[in-house]
Chain A
Amino acid sequence: GEDVEQSLFLSVREGDSSVINCTYTDSSSTYLYWYKQEPGAGLQLLTYIFSNMDMKQDQRLTVLLNKKDKHLSLRIADTQTGDSAIYFCAESPTSGTYKYIFGTGTRLKVLA
């Protein structure tokens, strides 16, 4: 079956690193994504990783992919109060399907 799971909440202090985790079940997705949702807004694409990569770094963001364990993580270095939001991981549709699979979302709270 298809399922993407995330922990619901994460609280960190400003300046610390945040690590948001995601586990998924469909190993045939080509791309995996991280989206950020601020209050009252839509989902904003933060970064993505191709399924044959282990790691991708983009400024303060580091994505790690462990295909064997079907585990995806997003590390935010030097977390700021502006990073407080809900973060969703997502899988791209597999061939012949339409459906993006989104996680349940992790609410990140950054304490000043």
Chain B
Amino acid sequence: EADIYQTPRYLVIGTGKKITLECSQTMGHDKMYWYQQDPGMELHLIHYSYGVNSTEKGDLSSESTVSRIRTEHFPLTLESARPSHTSQYLCASSVDRGRNTIYFGEGSWLTVV
């Protein structure tokens, strides 16, 4: 069972507000990821990290930013939320050994009104 946690699970905020989505994993995984997914649709990688102080942009351009100051923590921040940011955000982590499996958190549903 994966030990990766996201907060908040659900959030409704007004346009222009700043929001940080939290993600923590207790598995000691080096690699962490943020995906954006509209309901029932494909996953789009927006950020990833190889380890502490490493962050890279993914395939889908996103106005969000991330940081990786500690191995277990990979928060995502939107400085000024817009209705187009309404989506589900999935955090994930993996390690380069064994089955090389990627594990997901339960997701954060963001609605910007």
Contacts and interface: CB of A to CB of B under 8 A. Distances in A.
Interface in B36-57: 40-43, 45, 48, 50, 56
B101 A45 contact: yes
A93 B2 CA distance: 19
Contact of B99 (A31, A44, A86): A31
A80 B92 CA distance: 28
A1 interface: no
A55 B48 CA distance: 32
Contacts of B45: 99
Interface string B89-106: 010101000011111111
Interface residues on A, range: 20 to 34
Interface stretch (A10-18, A19-27, A61-69, A101-109): A101-109
Nearest to A29: B100
B104 A43 contact: yes
A41 B56 CA distance: 25
Nearest to A48: B99
Contact of B102 (A30, A40, A90): A90
Contacts of A40: 107, 109
Interface in B11-65: 31, 40-43, 45, 48, 50, 56, 59
Nearest to B101: A45
Contacts of A45: 2, 101, 103
Contact of A93 (B42, B100, B109): B100
A43 B56 CA distance: 22
Interface in A78-112: 86, 88, 90, 92-93, 98-100, 102, 104-105, 107
16 contacts: A33-B101, A33-B102, A40-B109, A41-B107, A42-B90, A43-B90, A44-B104, A45-B2, A48-B101, A86-B40, A88-B43, A90-B102, A92-B100, A98-B56, A99-B45, A99-B59
